[in-house]
Every structure is written in C-alpha cells, then in structure tokens.
Amino acid sequence: MDALIKESASQTRDVLKHHFSDLKGTLGKLLDERLVTLLQEVDTIEQETIKPLDDCQKLIEHGVNTADDLVREGEIAIHGGIEEHNDKLWNFTKKASHIQLDSLPEVPLLVDVPCLSAQLDDSILNIVKDHIFKHGTVASRPPVQIEELIEKPGGIIVDDDFTAQDYRLQFRKCTANHFEDVYVGSETEFIVLHIDPNVDYQFRVCARGDGRQEWSPWSVPQTGHSTLVPHEWTTGFEGYSLSSRRNIALRNDAESSGVLYSSAPTYFCGQTLTFRQVG
C-alpha cells in the first residue's frame, strides 16, 4: 500500500510539473507573439505618418537652397561689367520669374500630427490570476475504478463503477511495459477477448463526461486472469469453415455437413454459447 501511495504521488508530481512547464512556455510564446504584433503596428504607423513630413521637409530645404543659389547669382550680376552685367541680370531676372519662392507645402497643425501611445488593460492580470489560482486539482482517489473482473473462456469481463459519457479501457500482460487500448465507448461493461489462460493481466480505465475533451486520471490498475481455456471447434469436419482462432464456425457450401464438435468441454453451467443463423 505504501508503495502505491508513493508511486502515485511521484507520478502526480511529474504530471503537475510537466503541465505547468508546458503552460508557462505556451503563455510566454503567446505574449511574445502579441508583443511582436503590436511593435509591428507601431512601426507601420510611424512609417506611414512620418513620410509626408519628411517629404515636406525635403521640399522646404530644396526651396531654401534654390533661393540661396539665386541670391548668389544676383550678387554676381550686380558686381559684373556693363555688358556682362546686363546679360547676367537678364538671366537672373528670367530665372527668378520661374521660381516660386513663396510657394511652400502645407504643414499640418500640431494637433493633427500623430502621437503614438499604447492602451493596456491591467485588469487582465487579475483575470489571469483568478484562472491560474483555480486551475487544476489534486484528488486522493481516481474518479473511476474497476469494480469487478469476471473470467470467461478466453476472455475477462471488466466492469467499472462510474457513470460517464465515454470510457477508455486499457490492458497489458503483467510482464509487458506498456498498456494498450482495448475499448473506447459508453458501455460500463466490456469483455476483453483473446486472453491467454492462467496468465496475469492488468487493467485500468479512465472516463470523461459533461462534454469534456480531456480524460480523467487512470484508475488503480487491477490484476486478473482467466483459468478457463478459450473455446475451440475441432477441425477436419466437412461443411464448416473455422476462423483463425477456431472459435467461430461457419457453414460452407459443402453438400455434406456432419456434426461439429468442440475440442474440449470448455463451457460449463451458467455460461452462454451463441448460435447465429445467417440467411
């Protein structure tokens, strides 16, 4: 009993650590992805709103440089000789008439200039905190248990004691390392076939209900075996075809069909044998 308690406690610790480690990694990844999305939005708004202002600044600087060049040309034209003075003054006047020094782009008002900010709802911390504090429970006993193991020829009936939407039953030989699924469904009783006689098997079951997707913790494994050998029909009789395990006999098209015998008296009082007529 002590070993069962210690083993289940150790497994529960490992499950909790693994689950919360995965949860922490997933939450961190989601937060990082959200941060990247918001930073990209900041970059986009910054680039889209600052470009018109940059274009306006470049246009103003170009106008200032043009005016400065024109002033220098005017000074040169004034201080030149008479003929040279007239030519340069004419070129200066002609050039100046084509330049609109008083035409500047419209600069937006300060209130119209975007000013970025972030809106963050601090209440999300309390919401997440409440969910985290309520997340997960520790139970001293599994919610579903195997109630009874009943031996049958070549099989074992497994009966559980819990009402749920679905059940998942697994079994393994006691010498095996891993359990295998043998039944998933809504029936609380299931017969596991192809059981070797006088061999110990372990069974465990879990359940889910109320529309939940996750399965409950596994029940405590129960050990059982069947001392009853599986039923087999004797081979060599015309008119019947046997299955690979020789536990099912089907009539064939042979003209003669004699009596079919079992290989041993494997059925006893209180057990059932099913005969089905097809066609």
C-alpha closest to that of 207 among 168, 179, 158: 168
Residues 259-277: pLDDT tens digits?
A: 777 777 777 777 676 766 6
Query: Domain for residue 265, yes or no?
Result: yes
Last residue of a domain, one of 194, 224, 254: 224
Domain count for the chain, please give it: 3
End-to-end CA separation in angstroms for the chain: 56
Same domain (yes/no): 244, 197: no
Same domain (yes/no): 173, 214: yes
Query: Domain for residue 113, yes or no?
Result: yes
Domain interval for residue 243: 232-279
Query: Domain for residue 141, yes or no?
Result: no
Same domain (yes/no): 118, 24: yes
Last residue of a domain, one of 134, 167, 188: 134
Same domain (yes/no): 85, 200: no
| pLDDT above 90 as % of the chain | 20
Same domain (yes/no): 55, 158: no
* Whole-prediction pTM: 0.54
Dihedral through CA 264, CA 268, CA 271, CA 274, nearest 10?
A: 40
Same domain (yes/no): 180, 209: yes
Residue-level pLDDT at 26: 95
Query: Domain for residue 279, yes or no?
Result: yes
| Type and span of the H or E element at 149 | strand 146-152
Same domain (yes/no): 123, 178: no
What is the arithmetic mean of pLDDT over 67-87?
Answer: 67
Residues 192-232: pLDDT tens digits?
A: 988 888 999 999 999 887 777 888 888 888 899 988 877 77
DSSP letter for 71, please. H
Residue 155 has pLDDT above 90, yes or no: no
Characterize 128-142 residue by residue with b for buried, 16 or more Cβ atoms within 10 angstroms of its Cβ, and e for exposed.
Answer: eeeeeeeeeeeeeeb
Query: Rounded to an integer, what distance in angstroms lies between the CA atom of residue 173 and that of residue 177?
Result: 8
Query: Domain for residue 140, yes or no?
Result: no
Residue linked to tokens 């009966």:
159
Classified as helix, coil or strand, 242 is strand
Neighbours of 232 (CB within 10 A): 18
Which residues share a beta bridge with 206? Answer: 168
Query: Rounded to an integer, what distance in angstroms lies between the CA atom of residue 10 and that of residue 4?
Result: 10
| Type and span of the H or E element at 28 | helix 2-78
Q: Name the packing angle between helices 82-97 and 2-78 (round to 10°).
A: 140
Angle, vertex CA 259, rays to CA 255 and CA 260, nearest 5: 105
